[in-house]
Amino acid sequence: MKVFSNTLGIIFNIVMAPFSNISESLHNVQKNIIEPTVQNVQENIIKPVASIPLNLIRNRVTCSVYIVEVGGNDMQISAIPRGNCWNCCPVNLKQDVRFLFYSKSRHKSGTIINHYEGRGALRAAGVDPLAPTAIYIHGFSELSPGQSGEVIKNAYLASSTDYNFFILDWSQLSSFPWYSQAKSNVKLVAKVLSDFLETFNDSGELPIRKVHLIGFSLGAHVASFTGKSLRSGLKLKRITALDPAFPEFPIQDTSRRLTRSDADYIDVIHTDAGIFGIPVPLGHADFYPNEGKALQPGCQPSYLLNEGNFVNLVVGCSHVRAWKLYAESVINMKAFPATKCKSWKGTSRVCNFSTDSYMGLANNYTHGIFYLQTKSREPYSKSVKEQISDREG
């Protein structure tokens, strides 16, 4: 119920974004009247009643995940959440968290790594300890490898650099509509990943200094808690956070969300700030394409209606734009020139656009907050000249 009400609120905010004054007034109604009422119903009616049937109907069918297509994207759903909650299906980490390995010679179907076998498992799979390693962690309700995993994987394997590429599959623990439980499962998954990294760093099969974690939405927090869970003396080299999930994550308490100390270097791409994505800077470098918020170019209701794809607005068009931009940056390292200058528009500009960094894979050293403009469809890249021209009017 909590997830349902949160989802409705999020969808409402997205759709009403073009009408900010009306949206603000109705948002207050939602916050002060609707949400307290929903919470009261949940605690006093729904939860007590639900406890009886849920304890009786846990079985292979209700605990399985199913694939549905929404707006051209596949989504995983389940009748009952999986986790350690009172009404959850039980967790089996050996089955529910998997590592899929890809390389240029194994680019179509990933090799499932049984990391519980310990030392030698990566060597047997063909992982090159001398090559850089990227580990992608998907978000809530996604399949694995899923659309985001496939696109990012293909981008890395098309690179001139030979990468070890892994997809961390935790889709069994992050199925729709159970967002709150998926959020609670983040720490379980992070502990599995930190154990994986410690084991194979110690064996010499995967030096942790060559590992780059890339996490989308909830996956960004999995990366965060992985960094927090590593034993003393080990530290991640880099985390790239793609629109880190905002719902139910506190801004002030850094022990419960992504923060700079989780890795030597953290870069963040914000595309849906304040709705699905955390709005405040979190890393050493934070990038705000198109101001970092909804609606991203091509996500406006009128545009999506013309494209016949309005449902993408509901399932987070602006949110998923983060991984699409990152994938393009892997293919074209200088696709997204960015500036520290927030306002370079026409006669009201207070500074000039200068290329202070490049958003995405190429950036692994700059610090600060950066801004840029992108196009509404692939390829999203805009040159400095195009960005300045767009901002002149």
Q: List, as own/partner pairs, every contact residues 121-129 make where C-beta atoms lie below 8 angstroms and the sequence separation is at least 24, other chains included.
A: 121/200, 121/205, 122/200, 122/203, 122/205, 122/206, 123/205, 125/101, 126/101, 127/101, 127/103, 127/164, 127/205, 127/206, 128/103, 128/162, 128/164, 129/204, 129/205, 129/206, 129/207, 129/210
pLDDT band at 392 (very low <50, low <70, confident <90, very high): low
Task: Return the residue matching tokens 């006093």.
Answer: 44
pLDDT surpasses 80 at 314:
no
From CA 376, how far away is CA 315, in angstroms rounded? 17
Closest to 296 in 3D by CA, of 274, 330, 321, 262? 321
Of 24 and 12, more confident: 24
Of 86 and 163, more confident: 163
pLDDT band at 305 (very low <50, low <70, confident <90, very high): low
Q: What is the pLDDT of residue 74?
A: 77
Report phi then psi at 225, rounded to 5. -70, -20
pLDDT surpasses 90 at 227:
yes
pTM beyond cutoff 0.75: yes
Q: What is the pLDDT of residue 124?
A: 93
Mean pLDDT of 90-110: 90
Domains of the chain (ranges, CATH numbers): 1-56 (no CATH), 64-392 (3.40.50.1820)
Q: What is the pLDDT of residue 19?
A: 40
β-strands 65-70, 73-78 pairing: antiparallel
Q: How many CB atoms lie within 10 A of CB 44?
A: 10
Strands (E), the chain: 65-70, 73-78, 98-102, 111-113, 133-137, 164-169, 211-216, 236-242, 263-269, 285-289, 337-338, 357-358, 368-372
Mean pLDDT of 267-290: 96
pLDDT surpasses 70 at 33:
no
Task: Return the residue matching tokens 């590429």.
Answer: 165
Q: Over the chain, what is the mean pLDDT?
A: 85
Q: What is the pLDDT of residue 306?
A: 55
Mean pLDDT of 133-149: 93
pLDDT surpasses 50 at 103:
yes
Residues 2, 42: contact at Cβ < 8 Å?
Answer: yes
pLDDT surpasses 60 at 278:
yes
Q: What is the pLDDT of residue 86?
A: 82
Q: 251: helix, coil or strand? A: coil
